[in-house]
Copies of this chain bind each other. A is one copy, B any other.
């Protein structure tokens, strides 16, 4: 059944008050699909449908919902209902929800959780946004080094139900210091009498609570992990980040980079969840800034007005030179920005990068110049001096564009700026100005104007 037919079906059943049929349909669906379905239905039907869901599924659906729907539901919940949902949530999901809610809703949530959970939520809320601490959960399985495999499995069976993942277990000493990890696969495939400390892997990949979430996500990718333990300054285990959160981080960071590269201030919402005014607010600052900086380009043209009026045909090659420069520069900058994000390039590589881009630039510039020279003479039929002016400019523009494009993002990262902001629009503005200066300089020399 496709989505539209499903929505219609649900609406009909709602109208006819066939609640038990609705219940049957819903409880066979995936949480993510139910949440998507809720988005398609009138808002006032959601509480009714939500109450038809079995307890565990209800909590899973709740986590998947948009924060405005969550808020509406919480406001309609009795204290008892709220408690029931909260009890079923994993701690990191509860924290995510708390972070999105207005203060009065947060107050109600906090007053309906037990003391331990409240303390834990507050603990996680303390960590800075986008840090490993802020995305971790503290519901992990911890084992002691001297347990046998059998005892460990028993412990997991007894306590595992509330843990977000039981697949990687962490071994800590008496001071809660992380000393090893082992997977449940290792435990299950080991001898029953084998000792945890002999089975465990001591060569651990871990994150610090304050580490940037993007760096943590890159570790998942590099080491193919299901979960990463998070430790504090004393190497004590305080939580774990699971792969599903890492996947979210990766997708969000890629989206964020892409938006910044296109001169948009990123936010966390999906396309249709961002309203027109918010979209305007995300886009207008850079447009304004770039408009103002493009004025400099205009000023350069103005200052060569007399040269231009003598050789008006010069102006018809300005767009081509500017666009080619912009495109060349953004090719270099975008490639380098992505490589920086994926930890393929570091600051110490800057000269290696520049050397590479310089050679690529010369190859590209010459190819473009040769093709363009032929075209200018054969198709446009302009004078050789003029064609030479345009093509020499082309080579230089591509060269400058690539060098600036590749080095600015690396320098930006070094001084703590976001490299993604140094992408095409920003580079384009700089390259435009340089292109024109070079163009007019060469023109005045070659054409004697």
Contact = CB atoms under 8 A, between A and B. Distances in A.
Interface stretch (A8-16, A72-80, A129-137, A250-258): A250-258
Interface residues of A, number: 110
A65 to B, nearest CB: 13
A220 interface: yes
Contact of A188 (B160, B297, B330): B160
A327 B367 contact: no
Contacts of A331: 262-264, 283, 287
Given A290-B323, A298-B319, A301-B319, A189 B161 contact: yes
A166 B153 contact: no
A445 to B, nearest CB: 21
A266 B298 CA distance: 35
A359 interface: yes
A368 interface: yes
Interface in A299-343: 299, 301-302, 305, 308-309, 312-313, 315-320, 322-324, 326-328, 330-331, 333-336, 338-339, 342
A259 interface: yes
How many chain copies? Answer: 2
A367 B288 contact: yes
Interface of A: 28-30, 32, 153, 156-157, 160-161, 166-167, 184-185, 188-189, 202-203, 205, 220-224, 226, 243-244, 246-248, 250-251, 254-255, 257-259, 261-264, 270-272, 276-277, 279-280, 283-284, 286-288, 290-292, 294-295, 297-299, 301-302, 305, 308-309, 312-313, 315-320, 322-324, 326-328, 330-331, 333-336, 338-339, 342, 344-345, 349, 352-353, 356, 359-360, 363-364, 367-368, 371-372, 375, 398, 424-425, 428-429, 432, 436
9 contacts: A30-B223, A166-B188, A250-B250, A264-B331, A271-B344, A272-B352, A279-B360, A315-B318, A326-B425
